[in-house]
Amino acid sequence: MKQILIVDDHFLTSLGLELLIKKVIKKCSVCMAGNFEAAMRKLKDQRFDVMLLDLGIPGGHASEMIQTFLKVQPGLRILVCSGRDELANAPGCIHAGAYGFLPKHAPDTEAQMAIEMVAQGKKYISNAVQAKIVNDFMYGQNSSLNPIETLSPREKEVMDLMLKGCTSKQICGTLRIKFSTVSSHKNRVFQKMAVENSIELFKKVGQYSDEVLTREGQR
Q: What is the pLDDT of residue 140?
A: 61
Looking at residue 11, its pLDDT comes to 94
pLDDT surpassing 80 at residue 127? yes
Domain boundaries defined on the chain: 2-138, 147-218
Contact 44, 63 (CB under 8 A): no
User: Does 137 score more than 70 pLDDT?
Assistant: no
Give the model's confidence band at 141: pLDDT under 50 very low, under 70 low, under 90 confident, else very high. Answer: low
pLDDT digits (tens, 9 = 90+) for 148-198: 877 898 999 999 999 999 999 999 999 999 999 999 999 999 988 878 888
Band of the pLDDT at 92, cuts 50, 70, 90? confident
Taking CB atoms within 8 Å and a gap of at least 24, the contacts of 190-199 are 192/147, 192/150, 192/151, 192/155, 193/147, 193/148, 193/151, 193/159, 194/147, 198/162, 198/163
Question: What confidence category does residue 213 fall into, taking pLDDT thresholds of 50, 70 and 90?
Answer: very low
Question: Global pTM?
Answer: 0.71
pLDDT of amino acid 43: 97
CA distance 32 to 7: 6
User: From its phi and psi, is residue 175 left (phi > 0), alpha (psi between -120 and 50) or beta?
Assistant: alpha
What's the rounded mean pLDDT across residues 206-211?
Answer: 66
Q: What is the pLDDT of residues 52-65, one digit of tens each?
A: 999 989 998 777 89
Contact 50, 2 (CB under 8 A): yes
163-196: b (≥16 Cβ within 10 Å) or e: beebebeebbeebebeeeebeebbebbbebbebe
With a cut of 80, say whether residue 112 has pLDDT above it: yes
Q: Render pLDDT for 1-50 as a digit per residue (tens, 0 to 9).
A: 999 999 999 999 999 999 999 999 989 999 999 999 999 999 999 999 99
Angstrom distance (rounded) from CA 52 to CA 217: 25
Q: How would CATH label the architecture of 2-138?
A: 3-Layer(aba) Sandwich (3.40)
Residue 208 has pLDDT above 80, yes or no: no
Given a cut of 90, whether residue 91 has pLDDT beyond it is no
- Secondary-structure class of domain 147-218 per CATH: mainly alpha
Transcribe 61-83 into DSSP letters.
Answer: -HHHHHHHHHHH-TT-EEEEEES
Which pLDDT score, from 0 to 100, does residue 144 have? 55
* Cα 24-2-78 angle, rounded to 5 deg: 80
pLDDT of residue 215: 41
CA geometry: angle at 105 spanning 103 and 108, to 5°?
A: 95
Range with top average pLDDT, 81-90, 150-159, 165-174, 200-209? 165-174
